[in-house]
Amino acid sequence: MMLKPFHGFALATLGIAGACASIPAIGDPAVTVTAHAETVPVGTANEDAADDPAIWRNPADPSKSLIVATDKKGGLYVYNLKGETLSFMAAPGLNNVDLIGDAEGNVITVVASDRADLATAHLSISALLPETGELILTERIPVGPGEGYGICLGEISPDGAFTAVSAPKEGTIYRTRISNGANGTIEHQTEVLTTVATQPEGCVVDGRTGTLYIGEEIAGVWAIDMETGAKSLVAPVGTGMLVPDVEGLALAPEGEDGGYLVASSQGDNAYAVYRLPAMTPVGRFRIAAGAFGSTEETDGIELDNRDFGPDFPGGLFIAQDGINPPHAQNFKLARWDEILAALEAGS
């Protein structure tokens, strides 16, 4: 898939970001849904600590799926779908997280961006044990210059190899090939895929089309060819859909190249939804207070549109909640089918 470079980037960085809040949003008024569960708050109180979630879907029993999420001041939590804590791995400095597993659910690899060294981005690699929810740190590998920030993973190959995309704050986008070496070791090779002008973070890989979607916080969402690095700004701020900062990204694939991309519009506590493959704006939604609290100032999000059992039969959407008084930050769980229904009703 070859993408044509976008030539209007300068426009996005020369004032649109500051003016976008006054532009009527395509999806306004944003529709509302409520959370069906929430996680136990992270252990770091009174700080910006909770950041990014990842979902492992249990193929044998989806209701027993797991959530891995970061407390960037403390480490990695593992939760069940009720939001209960199953385990915690202390590792301060882990910011964003993603995971990948084999089809049988026997081998689950968790990769987090590691910013403990502010001069060199690293990847922290752990094994997730599905029976207990325990995390075991296996490796910490360097990526390249920059402060580790965003992270997302490509699909796993039959031999267990996969690609990790790193997005340090400075704007260099790295592509790291990770594979199994001899005697249980991990081999890795990193190269620069492309760059963006200012700070990126959230990203997601669409393995069907070989496209990396990455959020540049003040500019919008880029689509990047995973082979060539060619990029196009497919969802700029300033159109009304996204208000900086653009934070987490999540994908709900359908068919060969369809489905939805969701972006966290942190600047106005909303989530922007686009229809793939053309990134057509669908609308926006918010998570309002109900049985559980609302979400505000969301960083990371995650989405899986498959069945997760009786509580989430039409898919699972997870959002970090940046304001959760009187408790520390946590993560809210919503039903994806309810979000789609609300968007359809509000259109």
> Does the pLDDT of residue 12 top 60, yes or no?
no
Per-residue pLDDT tens digits for 39-49: 999 999 999 99
Instruction: Identify the band that residue 22 occupies on the pLDDT scale cut at 50, 70 and 90.
Output: very low
What's the mean pLDDT in 247-276? 98
Q: What is the pLDDT of residue 17?
A: 37
CB neighbour burial string for 8-23, b if at least 16 within 10 angstroms, e if fewer: ebeebeeebbeebeee
Q: What is the pLDDT of residue 27?
A: 61
Question: Class assignment of domain 9-346?
Answer: mainly beta
259 contacts 253 by C-beta, under 8 angstroms: yes
What's the mean pLDDT in 316-324? 98
Domain ranges of the chain: 9-346
The residue behind tokens 């069906």 is 36
* Alpha-carbon span 264 to 23, nearest angstrom: 18
> Does the pLDDT of residue 6 top 50, yes or no?
no
- Greatest mean pLDDT among 16-30, 175-189, 212-226 lies in 212-226
> Does the pLDDT of residue 4 top 70, yes or no?
no
146 contacts 138 by C-beta, under 8 angstroms: no
* Alpha-carbon span 66 to 191, nearest angstrom: 32
* Alpha-carbon span 149 to 121, nearest angstrom: 8
What's the mean pLDDT in 289-317? 98
> Does the pLDDT of residue 181 top 50, yes or no?
yes
Q: What is the pLDDT of residue 182?
A: 85
DSSP, collapsed to helix, strand or coil, labels residue 336 as: helix
> Does the pLDDT of residue 14 top 70, yes or no?
no
The residue behind tokens 């325990």 is 134
Which strand (E) or helix (H) includes residue 248? strand 246-254
Per-residue pLDDT tens digits for 52-85: 999 999 999 999 999 999 999 999 999 999 999 9
140 contacts 147 by C-beta, under 8 angstroms: no
